[in-house]
């Protein structure tokens, strides 16, 4: 398909997206129509708290402690296998994965912009991370993956699907937990974005979110929101 074909597909995806999504300037991307960014309607008030990267071992250990302290908490981690922290925390996460409280997703090996890679390079990134996840967590995480930076288009969707990653998981709301962000900023963003039916993105790259854990947990309780994994909300995936 030529470039114009891509653009037409992109425009189609844009038009078919919920109006609410388009109105929100916090969403930088017009994601392809197969991308998942919200949960299906449910009588249960629920939110998917998804955590990417894992560049900070201290942060990952704080998430494990939070999970142990809150037996009802369920989270999805999108692993960047190039981060050495994952191998260190894997033994603590495996029992939580077996219990269904933690789900592991693929976030590539080296966190590149997939739109800048060839189809083959995209597949190598996903496959390398896939083998790491199998070796360290004992699960097959397919078909879910999260493209780094949310950079995805129909070509990336197809290249990923050809190696079994048919479910790109994006988000509708972010804690904006990047480098140099304060716990107060994370708490502010959590207040803004933690609502029923959302997939929210967080990052285990520093202690900003762990510093806001108490606020976030209180917010979930006050809003009567349960946390779910992606698998909880999409059992067919």
Cβ distance to Zn ion smaller for residue 52 or 141: 52
Burial 171-183 (b: 16+ CB within 10 A, else e): bbbbbbbeeebeb
Question: Minimal distance in Å, beta carbon 6 to Zn ion?
Answer: 23
Among 143, 148, 173, 206, binds Zn ion (CB under 5 A): 148
Question: Minimal distance in Å, beta carbon 111 to Zn ion?
Answer: 6
- Kindly provide the residue ranges of all beta strands, DSSP E only, lying in 146-216, ordered along the sequence: 167-168, 199-203
Q: Find where tokens 């990653």 sit.
A: 165
Among 32, 38, 47, 53, binds Zn ion (CB under 5 A): 53
Q: Does 232 bind Zn ion (CB under 5 A)?
A: no
Cβ distance to Zn ion smaller for residue 60 or 225: 60
As given in the structure block, the two tokens for residue 1 are 């398909």
Q: How far apart are CA 34 and CA 152, in angstroms?
A: 11
Q: Which residue is nearest to Zn ion (CB)?
A: 52
Question: Minimal distance in Å, beta carbon 157 to Zn ion?
Answer: 18
Among 27, 46, 52, 123, binds Zn ion (CB under 5 A): 52
Question: Minimal distance in Å, beta carbon 211 to Zn ion?
Answer: 20
Q: Does 202 bind Zn ion (CB under 5 A)?
A: no
Site size for Zn ion (CB under 5 A): 3
Q: How far apart are CA 27 and CA 47, in angstroms?
A: 18
Q: Does 125 bind Zn ion (CB under 5 A)?
A: no
Q: Find where tokens 């994601």 sit.
A: 31
User: Under a CB-based contact definition with an 8 Å cutoff, are residues 38 and 24 in contact?
Assistant: no
Question: Minimal distance in Å, beta carbon 58 to Zn ion?
Answer: 18
**Coil, helix or strand at residue 152:** coil
Nearest alpha carbon to residue 39 among 80, 74, 81: 74
Which residues in this chain contact Zn ion in the complex, by CB under 5 A?
52-53, 148
């Amino acid at each position: 398909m030529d470039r114009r074909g891509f653009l037409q597909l992109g425009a189609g995806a844009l038009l078919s997206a919920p109006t609410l999504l388009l109105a929100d300037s916090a969403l930088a991307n017009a994601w392809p129509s197969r991308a998942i960014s919200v949960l299906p309607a449910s009588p249960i008030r629920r939110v998917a708290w998804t955590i990417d990267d894992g560049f900070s071992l201290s942060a990952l250990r704080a998430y494990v402690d939070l999970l142990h302290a809150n037996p009802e908490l369920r989270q999805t981690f999108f692993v960047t296998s190039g981060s050495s922290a994952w191998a260190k925390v894997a033994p603590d996460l495996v029992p939580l994965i077996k219990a269904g409280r933690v789900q592991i997703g693929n976030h590539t090996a080296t966190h590149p912009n997939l739109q800048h890679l060839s189809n083959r390079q995209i597949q190598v990134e996903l496959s390398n991370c896939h083998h790491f996840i199998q070796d360290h967590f004992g699960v097959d995480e397919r078909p879910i993956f999260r493209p780094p930076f949310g950079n995805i288009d129909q070509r990336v969707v197809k290249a990923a699907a050809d190696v079994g990653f048919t479910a790109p998981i994006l988000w509708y709301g972010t804690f904006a937990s990047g480098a140099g962000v304060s716990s107060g900023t994370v708490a502010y963003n959590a207040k803004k974005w933690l609502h029923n039916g959302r997939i929210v993105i967080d990052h285990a790259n520093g202690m900003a979110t762990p510093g806001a854990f108490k606020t976030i947990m209180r917010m979930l309780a006050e809003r009567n929101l349960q946390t779910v994994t992606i698998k909880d909300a999409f059992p067919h995936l």
